Amino acid sequence: MNLCLFNEPALKKPGSLKSKNSKHLTFSFTCFLGVVQIMKKIIALAISAAFTAPAAFADVELGPFSIYGTAATAVEIISVDNNTGKPLLPTKDSQTRLMDQSSKLGFKAKYDLGDDFFALAQVESRFYLGNNGDNTDDKAEIGSRNTFVGIGSKQAGTLRLGRYDNAYKLSLKQIVPTLYGNLNEASATYGSKQILNRLGGRQGDMIAYESPDLMGFSGNLSYNFGKDSTNSISAGSAGAPSNTVATDLMGQTAIGIAYKHSMFNVGFGYTTISNAAWKLDGSSGASAKNLAGSQKLDAYQFGGQVNYMDFSAGAIFERTSSSLSGLTAGNFDQHQNVFGLIGGYKKDALEIQVQYAKASDVDGSTLADTGGQQASISVGYNLHKYVQAVASFTKVDNDRNANFTSASGFGLDKGNGMSQFALGLVGKF
């Protein structure tokens, strides 16, 4: 390689230093000009790269390793409908707040093992851009979202071990993908305290299998080993916690099957939780508990979505059932039906979603007015390939003995409703 450097005998000039057989390193002026031209090109390329950095760093990849994430927040203006006539706590009264909309940061890697097999590793964490003044330091944990190791192939499917969405939640994505991919949390209708898919969720101690696509058919299967909760409701009076260690783990099995066509999706999901029951009329936001006696808790859902040009429309039906033949904890055999509707439009930078979900009264309950409904419209507009502005309006109406809420988590007393307007930004990388 010619670096424009060469050895030449020393020139003998008056006043010059003389050294017998000495050689001096000489840099030619012609090569100096060449180096200058090369440096100018390097500087020009660096400046060009700096101005195109947003696109270049939108999905940072280093071999099989990549970094990704979403930063999302919104100002929510909430007007509470106080139907109880009772004074409200400041945290449950009308207010304006800044609320995070599920911001996340993830690291993932995929390795080629040969013979069409691959290995996966992922660490995904939650962080908060606003949370209504709550202390979130203890909530933004590393690996708090989908975090797992896995192995798979295109022919055999993928097996994941760790923290992951159960198959019942993922079946909602297969059945009505537009509803699953809501624009912000303020308009979402599914989750543990929402109307739809209350037994779906992200869980630790998970083994999850995802099948390959077989001529449009696909499936998911998951098993969560469950937890032995010290404060599980067991033999307490009127269902109150008795601080008795649960004798059985509350494992959860879930399955989802679906068929996808270019113009429609259809699917079915089922889940069951062992050693658990849930008094469905007790609280819309209650969770499964380990109780004394013979118990059962399960749910199923089915539906579909039609996709035509830039439009989509879908519907889903769900039934959640719980039963208990207990001792001092009481007896019940209850179920609740819910359904959801979704309409969507997406073209170029604009996206519009309209959602509606309704829960009927709980059958088998001695209480009346245990249902509720939610309607929302949301609009997203892409300011950039990776930046979106989102606005939504959501209306929640609860019957006298229900307290459903939207997925951004505003707490409502039983019987109360709300109107919720949200305006925010979403940045993806």
CATH code at position 135: 2.40.160.10
341: DSSP letter: E
Residue 55 Cα distances to 59, 68, 70, 380, 428, angstroms:
8, 13, 15, 20, 11
What's the pLDDT score for residue 38?
A: 52
More confident residue, 301 or 26: 301
pLDDT exceeds 90 at position 363:
yes
Q: Which domain holds residue 402?
A: 58-428
In a domain, 191, yes or no: yes
More confident residue, 45 or 201: 201
Highest mean pLDDT among 248-257, 262-271, 275-284: 262-271
Cα 383 from Cα 187, distance rounded (Å):
21
Q: What are phi and psi of 170, to 5 degrees?
A: -70, -25
pLDDT exceeds 70 at position 14:
no
Angle formed at CA 139 by CA 137 and CA 141, multiple of 5 degrees: 95
Cα 104 from Cα 106, distance rounded (Å):
7
176: DSSP letter: -
What's the pLDDT score for residue 193?
A: 85
What's the pLDDT score for residue 22?
A: 42
Determine contact, residues 202/164, Cβ cutoff 8 Å.
yes
Determine contact, residues 389/407, Cβ cutoff 8 Å.
no
Distance between alpha carbon 74 and the CA centroid of its chain, in Å? 16
Q: What percent of the chain has pLDDT over 90?
A: 59
Average pLDDT over residues 53-81: 78
What's the pLDDT score for residue 125?
A: 95
Place of tokens 């939610």: 374
In a domain, 97, yes or no: yes
What's the pLDDT score for residue 213?
A: 93
In a domain, 8, yes or no: no
Average pLDDT over residues 68-76: 96
In a domain, 7, yes or no: no
In a domain, 399, yes or no: yes
What's the pLDDT score for residue 294?
A: 76
Q: What is the CA radius of gyration of the chain?
A: 30
pLDDT exceeds 70 at position 121:
yes
Q: What is the largest CA-CA distance in the chain?
A: 116
Instruction: Say how many domains are in the chain.
Output: 1
**What is the average pLDDT score of the chain?**
81
Average pLDDT over residues 157-168: 96
More confident residue, 319 or 237: 319
pLDDT-derived band at 274, boundaries 50, 70, 90: confident
pLDDT exceeds 50 at position 299:
yes
In a domain, 313, yes or no: yes
Place of tokens 């060469």: 6
pLDDT exceeds 80 at position 283:
no
pLDDT-derived band at 9, boundaries 50, 70, 90: very low
pLDDT exceeds 90 at position 378:
yes
pLDDT exceeds 80 at position 292:
no
Determine contact, residues 259/267, Cβ cutoff 8 Å.
yes
In a domain, 110, yes or no: yes
Query: Considering the entire predicted model, what is its pTM?
Result: 0.79
In a domain, 74, yes or no: yes
For residue 150, which of 137, 169, 163 has the smallest C-alpha distance?
Answer: 163
Cα 228 from Cα 245, distance rounded (Å):
7
Distance between alpha carbon 220 and the CA centroid of its chain, in Å? 17
